Amino acid sequence: MSFRTKIEQTAKRRNSNIIVALDFSFEKPEKRQNLYPKAERVLEAAHPYLCAVKFNHHLVLPLGLFDGVQKLVKMVHGYGLVAIMDCKANDIGATNEAIAEYYYAAGFDAIIANPLVGWEEGLKPIFDVANRLQRGVIVLVYMSHKASPEGYGQTIIEPETGQKIPQYVAFAQKALKFGASGAIVGATYPEKIKEIHKILSNAVPIFSPGIGAQGGDIAAALGAGSRYLIVGRSITGSEDPGRAAKEARDLARIA
């Protein structure tokens, strides 16, 4: 079963399009094992209201990929959810291939990659591995932070046509051309979601981070065309992560 089918079925079964991002603050190296029970607590409380869980370097670096993180991925699967690794793969092909192999070997259902490196000897090896293993590749199109326009909003010259277009439009076009499983577009930029959704239509679903702590609004993101909403610190930093996840899920239902 493909990643896209798996997350669609999970979202339908759970009646939720909420993805929690397990982002935690820095812990001193000698106390890094404290992160595991923190993540475990969030998953135990929030899993009934989620369709997926996104990991980042916040846990992989201190806990190790095949140690603590792989155990958490198994926990995610045990709850019937899918696991996404936000590694933002962005290197030459040989390195990208190794990145994909390791994260998929650890159990991740999809990884996030940067289309800036292009296709040949860039992202193609990631897609080759993903297709062989029936895993997903989600590409960055427009991130959620304040400086995103400095990179994703630049005007570029499209090499095949010579046309001047915004960088994010080129990335959206690449998501279609590459057959990506999804596209990252920040919830903090609903106008970009709307524009990019016109390019992608229903061919590539939009995953929108930045809900809550960064100021992204659930109703605005969904109204503009987002399919999945990524919520991090509003859930992980809550005294009651289960309630916070349920509130996000309920808001998405009525949006």
Question: What residues are labeled active site?
Answer: 88
User: What distance in Å separates the CA atoms of residue 190 and residue 222, rounded to the nearest whole number?
Assistant: 9
Q: Are 127 and 178 in contact (CB under 8 A)?
A: yes
**Which of 4, 7, 41, 6 has the alpha carbon at shortest distance from 22?**
41
Strands 155-157 vs 164-166: parallel, antiparallel or unpaired: antiparallel
- Tell me the two tokens of residue 171: 């990335």
User: What distance in Å separates the CA atoms of residue 4 and residue 155, rounded to the nearest whole number?
Assistant: 31
Phi, psi of 251 (to 5 degrees): -65, -40
For residue 207, give Cα distances in angstroms to 20, 68, 121, 241: 12, 26, 26, 21
Strands 182-185 vs 136-142: parallel, antiparallel or unpaired: parallel
Triad 88, 93, 97: Cα angle to 5°: 70
